[in-house]
Amino acid sequence: KQEVTQIPAALSVPEGENLVLNCSFTDSAIYNLQWFRQDPGKGLTSLLLIQSSQREQTSGRLNASLDKSSGRSTLYIAASQPGDSATYLCAVRADSSYKLIFGSGTRLLVRP
Amino acid sequence: SQTIHQWPATLVQPVGSPLSLECTVEGTSNPNLYWYRQAAGRGLQLLFYSVGIGQISSEVPQNLSASRPQDRQFILSSKKLLLSDSGFYLCAWSVRGELFFGEGSRLTVL
């Protein structure tokens, strides 16, 4: 059974810092991995999608990497800003499955 | 571009009352559709998914049901709400493996 873990559960950093959020999964047979952002009381916004054949994806100040063999993905946020404050979730899709398994998220606070 | 609409945004219902949450997707055809629930401290739980009209798969046995009467319409229902049905309900769609969410519906059962 696939399990997804995100560490740390919460993170507080000063503005301008580069930071890394971690996501680990127990079954390396994944179809893809997706990172989301959720603001309080809102739906999830898709940030990056990494296919199983890819090693990383980049969008602006965000870079996500995938290492299937070790069951890990990282989301790198460069030059963090207060507007980056949100909960970040990762989710994996197993092979031949319509289901995504979500981690419990990392709550990020970027202090001005 | 594709958009997803979900309503109502907020709902307060008494125990035992019925429920209907609706979701529509625009700008795409034959999407996979999903209902998730996010309860405080419990993360995202997949409730139902659908790969086509009238095709519904249930992930968690409960007093909720889902229907897909049209290609881009997905409805979450209950005949009698329980206190434990309170939560944040999210509709989502996917095409080519990427998942997109609506803004969510906050349900409080009193």
Quote the pLDDT of residue A94: 83
| Region B45-54 average pLDDT | 92
| Region B51-58 average pLDDT | 92
- Nearest chain B residue to A52 by CA distance is B97
Indicate whether B8 pLDDT > 80: yes
Q: What is the CA radius of gyration of chain A?
A: 13
**Binning pLDDT at 50, 70 and 90, where does residue B39 land?**
confident
**Binning pLDDT at 50, 70 and 90, where does residue B96 land?**
confident
Indicate whether B61 pLDDT > 80: no
Q: Is the backbone peptide bond immediately before A82 cis, with ω within 30 degrees of 0?
A: no
- Nearest chain A residue to B42 by CA distance is A104
Tens of pLDDT, residues A39-50:
998 999 999 999
Contacts of A60 (CB under 8 A, 6+ apart): none
What percent of chain A lies above the pLDDT cut of 90? 89
CA atoms of A35 and A9, how far apart (whole Å): 15
Tokens of B4: 């997803």
Please identify among residues 13-32 of chain A the ones whose CB lies closer than 8 Å to any CB of chain B. Answer: 31-32
Tens of pLDDT, residues A7-62:
999 999 999 999 999 999 999 989 999 999 999 989 999 999 999 999 999 999 99
Indicate whether A97 pLDDT > 70: no
Indicate whether B40 pLDDT > 90: no
CB contact under 8 A, B101 and A43: yes
Mean residue pLDDT across chain A: 94
In a 3-state reduction of DSSP, which class is residue A84?
Answer: helix
Cα B57 to Cα A49, B48, B66, distances in angstroms: 25, 6, 9
CB contact under 8 A, A43 and B104: yes
Quote the pLDDT of residue B89: 96
